[in-house]
Amino acid sequence: MINLEIPKKLKFSANQAHQVATEIFRPISRKYDLGEHDYPVELDTMAAMIEGLGDSGTQDIGGAAGGRSDETAEDKKHATELLGNSNGGNMSALLNALETSWGDVGLMLSIPYQGLGNAAIAAVATDEQLGRFGKVWASMAITEPSFGSDSAAVSTTAVRDGDEWVLNGEKIFVTAGERSTHIVVWASVDRSLGRAAIKSFVVPRDAPGLSVARLEHKLGIKASDTAVLLLQDCRIPADNILGSPEVNVEKGFAGVMQTFDNTRPLVAAMAVGVARAALEELRKVLTDAGVEIDYDAPAYTQHAAAAEYLRLEADYESSYLLSLRAAWMADNKKPNSLEASMSKAKAGRTGTDVTLKAVELAGAIGYSQRTLLEKWGRDSKILDIFEGTQQIQQLIVARRILGKSSAQLK
């Protein structure tokens, strides 16, 4: 039997995240939506709190360590023998992302030490590297002007020069690209070897040759800075390459692609959080308008708005459960590439559907700035795009189910 209840040990941090969303994010949500590129100074208090909790050992909610468990191999073996189940860093990070995104997804993406690059570090870093980079604030730089969803088309290069790597290239759409302390950069160590030579590198903010070219103006998540980064003979220490520097042609692109198995369920959780926020607000609007939602009556016998609400809620529930499954599999060391893409595809599509339909059903209230509904409609769109578009996720799912390679199914 499958138990879908959130374990007690994770409820405490999830409740804390919800309090942050309620007490900090919601009150300033409109402020930073209107003040694009203004730094949310209120988050500095959060940064100190996260660092304090991490240093005290009370709770591990910050940095790449959130994607790793503190359990020893013997502990894991014992737990598996007893329960066959583990809920660790990935599940905790997912629940925290869901709750904070319920407050404001743009502010969630701006939380210090919680960047998408941290998940990349957790996915492929060695234990020694995790000790050095486990508590940094890392953004992730993949996309370039010459490509969008095809991550294998990376043209940024990394050349070994003695005890350093020299990086050259341009990265676009880097979330928290200006504010983060480190950037995880995808680059090729030998372009003649194709995708197998693509590695990820941790580049400190003050590395010589790294600069911010500009910040993007966006439809949504305006509280989050989205940067264009230039790497011009950018030098970093040789041991800042994540994982092994060796190029394994047989393994191919799988090493760095592990990153997405960690981050896609997190983005799915962000979409689930925004969708839940919209559903709760929509229910208030419908209730105030005298529309009753009856779970005991068939949808076709109810008010059209109520029937539509039930449909949206069903999609929300399925997205939530798919996200939980993908994170649980990651914590239990089960291959979850298929499930990660399924959760991202379903939740990304659901997020935009729920928020935009909420704007529509709420009428003038939904389209105005009297509530946050219109903002959530704008914010949700990016969650169906970054970390792999809806179309790319469906393609990955099809390949996994049909047993086709990327060359066989494009």
pLDDT per position as a tens digit, 157-180: 999 999 999 999 999 999 999 999
**CA atoms within 13 A of residue 366's CA, in its CB half-sphere:** 22
pLDDT at 79: 45
Judge whether residue 78 has pLDDT over 80. Answer: no
The residue with greater pLDDT, 336 or 5, is 336
What tokens does 119 get? Answer: 């998940």
If pLDDT is split at 50, 70 and 90, which confidence band does 45 have?
confident
Q: What is the CATH number of the domain that holds 201?
A: 2.40.110.10
- Same-domain pairing of 175 and 101: no
End position of a domain, from candidates 133, 165, 180: 133
Q: What is the CATH number of the domain that holds 288?
A: 1.20.140.10
- Same-domain pairing of 294 and 235: no
pLDDT at 307: 98
247 domain-assigned: no
Q: What is the CATH number of the domain that holds 28?
A: 1.10.540.10
Among all chains, which residue has been given the structure tokens 């529509």? 360
Average of per-residue pLDDT across 236-240: 97
pLDDT at 238: 97
The alpha carbon of 103 is separated from its chain's Cα centroid by a whole number of angstroms, namely: 15
408 domain-assigned: no
If pLDDT is split at 50, 70 and 90, which confidence band does 247 have?
confident
Q: Are 133 and 197 in contact (CB under 8 A)?
A: no
- Same-domain pairing of 211 and 258: no
The b/e string for 22-50 (b: 16+ C-beta within 10 A; e otherwise) is: eebbbebbeebbeebeeebeebeebeeeb
Look at residue 303 and give its three-state secondary structure: coil
Judge whether residue 82 has pLDDT over 50. Answer: no
The residue with greater pLDDT, 239 or 252, is 239
Average of per-residue pLDDT across 104-119: 90
Judge whether residue 35 has pLDDT over 70. Answer: yes
- CA dihedral sign of residues 314, 318, 319, 324: positive
Average of per-residue pLDDT across 273-288: 98
Count: domains in the chain? 3
pLDDT at 50: 63
pLDDT at 63: 43
Average of per-residue pLDDT across 249-272: 80
C-alpha dist (Å) from residue 79 to 18, 82, 83, 324, 331: 29, 5, 6, 20, 12
Average of per-residue pLDDT across 268-285: 98
3 domain-assigned: no
Judge whether residue 83 has pLDDT over 60. Answer: no
248 domain-assigned: no
End position of a domain, from candidates 76, 98, 133: 133
pLDDT at 209: 98
**CA atoms within 13 A of residue 214's CA, in its CB half-sphere:** 4
Average pLDDT over the chain, rounded to whole? 89
- Same-domain pairing of 67 and 201: no
End position of a domain, from candidates 102, 133, 164: 133
- CA dihedral sign of residues 203, 206, 212, 216: positive
Question: Of all residues in the chain, what percent are helix, strand and coil, respectively (each to 5)?
Answer: 55, 15, 30
Full-model pTM: 0.91
Judge whether residue 68 has pLDDT over 70. Answer: no
- Same-domain pairing of 187 and 163: yes
- Same-domain pairing of 94 and 142: no
With a CB cutoff of 8 Å and minimum separation 6, the contacts of 190 are 197, 247
If pLDDT is split at 50, 70 and 90, which confidence band does 195 have?
confident
Containing domain of residue 164, as a range? 138-240
Poorest-pLDDT segment among 121-130, 198-207, 361-370: 121-130
Average of per-residue pLDDT across 222-230: 97
409 domain-assigned: no
Share of residues in the chain with pLDDT > 70 (%)? 89
Q: Are 376 and 355 in contact (CB under 8 A)?
A: yes
- Same-domain pairing of 219 and 263: no
With a CB cutoff of 8 Å and minimum separation 6, the contacts of 152 are 194, 195, 198, 253, 406
281 domain-assigned: yes
275 domain-assigned: yes
With a CB cutoff of 8 Å and minimum separation 6, the contacts of 72 are none
pLDDT at 2: 60
- Residues in a beta bridge with 228: 214
The residue with greater pLDDT, 405 or 309, is 309
- Same-domain pairing of 269 and 370: yes
If pLDDT is split at 50, 70 and 90, which confidence band does 49 have?
low
- Same-domain pairing of 205 and 334: no
If pLDDT is split at 50, 70 and 90, which confidence band does 46 have?
confident
- Same-domain pairing of 157 and 261: no
Share of residues in the chain with pLDDT > 90 (%)? 70
Provide the annotated active-site residues: 387
What is the rounded CA–CA span in Å between residue 396 and residue 343?
A: 12
pLDDT at 34: 97
- Same-domain pairing of 147 and 109: no
407 domain-assigned: no
What tokens does 227 get? Answer: 């940067």
- Same-domain pairing of 263 and 232: no
pLDDT at 251: 60
